[in-house]
A and B are shown apart, each in its own frame.
Chain A
Amino acid sequence: MQYIEELKIQMISQTLQTAAMAILEISIHQAIKLDRTKCSGLRSLSGCAFLINITEPNLRIYLVIDSTGQPRLQSIYEGEITTRVSGTASEFFALTLSEDPGAELINSPLEISGESNRLLEISQIFKNLDLDWEAYLTEYLGDIASHRIGSSVRRVHQWNKLTKDSLLRQIREYIHEEARLSPSKLELEDFYTDIQKLRLAADRLASLTKKLRKAI
């Protein structure tokens, strides 16, 4: 059993980490190829090295922008680090889901040291990648087929979005209005306003009582 445990640890260590980085790097390069306008932005960051230090689980990823503006992912880097970001995996995950990664970076519990403006630049570039999948498909399938596939994907995406929005709205209505499991946002706001009024009234009453006591 001990051998098997040792074997697992050895096999998943460096080789898998390097493989995962290689796959991620290829994906980033593909994404950049689909939005060539962003390449020039990355070129302005050439020579920068960002250390993404994930504390739980323990993992260090170096994002290095080379002289041609291509991002490279490494597990070992011995040059100067432009910016370090440290935090747990869940904090980094929240960052990737954020609509505004710049604000999220500043407001989140992630620890940042070094040139934070460089970090904001690169996070905006990655966030604003506008992937032109249809152009990519055109190279292999031609104009008509790729346009049809693109239209179908957009329709499915739109349908998914509408269905998701509608489902969320109905669930919200059911919870608030039908089952009365939780108050609605408006009811909560009214409730908080009433509490605020009550607190002010209590303060006034306390002040009045104090005055009366002094007068007596």
Chain B
Amino acid sequence: MKENDSTDFGFKTVPKNEKADLVAGIFNSVADRYDLMNDLMSIGIHRIWKRFAIELSAVREGNSVLDIAGGTGDLAIKFADIVGPDGTVVLADINESMLKVGRDKLLDKCWRPNIDFVQADAQNLPFPDATFECITIAFGLRNVTDKSAALKSMYRALKPGGRLLILEFSKPTNEILAKAYDAYSFHILPLMGKIVANDSDSYKYLAESIRMHPDQEELQILVEDAGFSNCDYYNMTGGIVAIHRGIKNPDD
């Protein structure tokens, strides 16, 4: 297998054309208990990370927002309240099961009329150029096969001056925290997955995919290479999570 034809799937190397199906298999398996597992795994801290991402988005009333890998709609619901009736939020996810869980959650518990649902691949976003003021992808980029292609696709779909926000697991900046985090990820997380979701492999993949994902600096370079300017990032909880931000050049 040539290097260009292969990619990582956790610690394994797989052909590029197989990764999407393998990731889909993981999310089909965890979709039903996704929210519960998120709360358990992060002790609810994922809500704080998402809240800060929303603050960084600077989204205003009337804006159009695309939430890629939006899954169960945590960010989309908050954005829908901020943009109000004159704005639009598009919740996009490549995975049908996740999208279905998200749509059911919104229909049953917290319906917002300004949210649209789209099944879409981040690498080939099905939207015209310059559609959105803000694009977010929370805990989704590491599962994308070709991250550069996805970032370029996001750049295209953003309006000039629009903002990209990537909320993703990253590299702890402290050695003690890194060791504790490794122990937690590789021992406790799969066990938790087995007990709650009866699926330890998916949570083993989660831990492995986080380690294979570019760290803060590497991801910033990828974002810059996609054309974004004014790129920066914020470490949250000692770098366990980082929020990267980039602006589409106003002249593009």
Contact = CB atoms under 8 A, between A and B. Distances in A.
Interface string A28-58: 0000000000000000000000000000000
Contact of A11 (B52, B81, B84, B237): B237
Interface in B9-62: 45, 47-49, 51-52, 55-56, 58, 60-61
B126 interface: no
B56 A15 contact: no
Interface string A72-92: 001111110000000000000
A76 B56 contact: yes
B55 A15 contact: no
A84 to B, nearest CB: 18
A182 interface: no
B176 interface: yes
Q: Which of B45, B61, B174, B235 has the most CB of A within 10 A?
A: B174
A153 interface: no
A7 interface: yes
B56 A22 contact: no
B236 A15 contact: yes
Contacts of A75: 52, 55
B45 A77 contact: no
A7 B174 contact: yes
Contacts of A7: 174, 176-177, 238
Nearest to B163: A78
Contacts of A77: 55, 58
B161 interface: no
B3 interface: no
Contacts of B47: 22
Size class of the B contact interface (CB-based, 8 Å): 20 to 34
A10 B52 contact: no
B160 interface: no
B234 interface: yes
Contact of A79 (B58, B173, B176): B58
B174 A18 contact: no
A4 B179 CA distance: 13
B214 interface: no
Contacts of A134: none
Contacts of B173: 6, 10
A10 B176 contact: no
The 4 closest A-B pairs by CB, nearest first: A10-B238, A78-B58, A7-B174, A15-B237
Interface of A: 3-4, 6-7, 10-11, 14-15, 18-19, 22, 66-68, 74-79
Interface of B: 45, 47-49, 51-52, 55-56, 58, 60-61, 81-82, 84, 173-177, 234-239
24 contacts: A3-B174, A3-B175, A3-B176, A4-B176, A6-B174, A7-B174, A7-B176, A10-B173, A10-B174, A10-B237, A10-B239, A11-B177, A11-B238, A14-B236, A15-B45, A15-B49, A18-B52, A18-B236, A19-B45, A66-B84, A74-B55, A77-B55, A77-B58, A79-B60
Given A3-B174, A3-B176, A22-B47, 13 more contacts: A7-B177, A11-B237, A11-B238, A14-B52, A15-B237, A18-B52, A19-B48, A22-B48, A66-B61, A66-B82, A76-B52, A76-B56, A78-B58
